[in-house]
Amino acid sequence: MENNTMIQFHCETIRREYQLVGQSLTANFPNGFPDAALQIQSQFAERRHEITNAKDQEVLFSPYMCNGIFATYFACLEVDDLILIPHGMIGFKLPTVVFGSILSNRNLLL
């Protein structure tokens, strides 16, 4: 008997800003990728509990900036405000932009 998988996607557009607190790491690009991104995420995982005003401790944001030579990778949590920033971390605001979001629900058809 053959199992078929059907995946349904729900797409939405979100217009909002984000306030983030976390850590960053800069590395050569592209040679430092994905190792640098994985390294900062691992380091941050050990410290994310220090961000007491996080909206959700389980949702990790990983923005990056790249100029083609170097890239800075971030591991962050969304916060209510940028007042409480633990030592050695940074806080910043991503300006209001339009994001596309795709959510999937997987249904199995037998």
Name, in order, each residue with C-beta under 8 angstroms of 87's C-beta and a sequence gap of 6 or more. none
What are the tokens at 26? 């800069």
Q: What pLDDT, on a 0 to 100 scale, did the predictor assign at position 110?
A: 36
What are the tokens at 87? 């030592």
Assign 3-state DSSP to the chain and report helix, strand, coil percentages, each to 5: 15, 55, 35
pLDDT tens, residue by residue, 44-101: 999 999 999 999 999 999 999 999 999 999 999 999 999 999 999 999 999 887 766 6
pTM score, whole prediction: 0.76
